[in-house]
Structure 1
Amino acid sequence: MIYVAAGDWEGDEVEPIDLDWQQGSNLNRCRRPADVDAAFDRGEEHVGAALIALVHNNPDTDAVLPRVARGLRSPHPETRRQSLLALMHTARLHGRVDAVTVELLHGLLSDGTPISAGSPYEVRGTATQTVGDLTVFLPSAQLPDWVNHVSDY
């Protein structure tokens, strides 16, 4: 991943990178929310990977979290899974999440959709891991009470 050094971030004014959406080979360089929005609008297969990179490369959590929420609502289970990973990384790197993403996370705890055709892994497994990571990386005061009862799922 490419991380932006402190003081280097200039928001969407940063020169755009020609991202390879077909192969997904350089999506780890994604840093502009507008690139992720456009990828969602086009229905790009690798938008989840770009979303994870956005979390790593863009320190503006207020710009990142709405894109994470959009991914958590995706009809594609792999995009939902990658969006859960993006939420984990947001908590770890930026020390916060928001009420919208936490509410969506709660709903995904019962999502038994396989990650891909024939996969034994389901979205809810990643959702459960995400809850565990939030409890590690965020103060309990930032988390709703249901987080303590995830073992019930």
Structure 2
Amino acid sequence: MKAFIPYLFVPVLATAGWVAGAWLPAPAGPTLPSATTIEAPPLLGVPVPPPPEGEPVRVHMKALLPPATVPQASRQGEVRQEPPRVNAILVDGARRVAQVDGQVLTVGDRHGAYRVTAIETHRVLFVQTVLGQRHWIDVNAP
């Protein structure tokens, strides 16, 4: 019988909660903060006009984003970096390693403006990080 006693508390607690909810006043809802003016950081260089009375402050998303750090040459579609040269490739089961310009790289590593995307037994796939162009480069290709 002692093991049954905790189960008697479930209906008692449920009834007590219902009675307390019916007799106690409802809690007040949360109050939202309101901004009358907003000052943009001076580095953004974007003026934010004050909103009309009672309306929320609206800021363009570009004003909140950090400045783009894309090189000027890549904005025009020109990246003046030579494609990397693959010296050797080692494939051992699931492990794939490529020696590119004297550096040992695996899938996901970066080499200048290029990122290694895939390594096969005789070639490596590079993706230019700025322009998104794909380049398959063979081992010891001139």
TM-score normalised according to structure 1 size: 0.20
Higher relative contact order (CA 8 A, sep 6+): 1
More helix by share: 1
Q: Which has the higher strand share?
A: 2
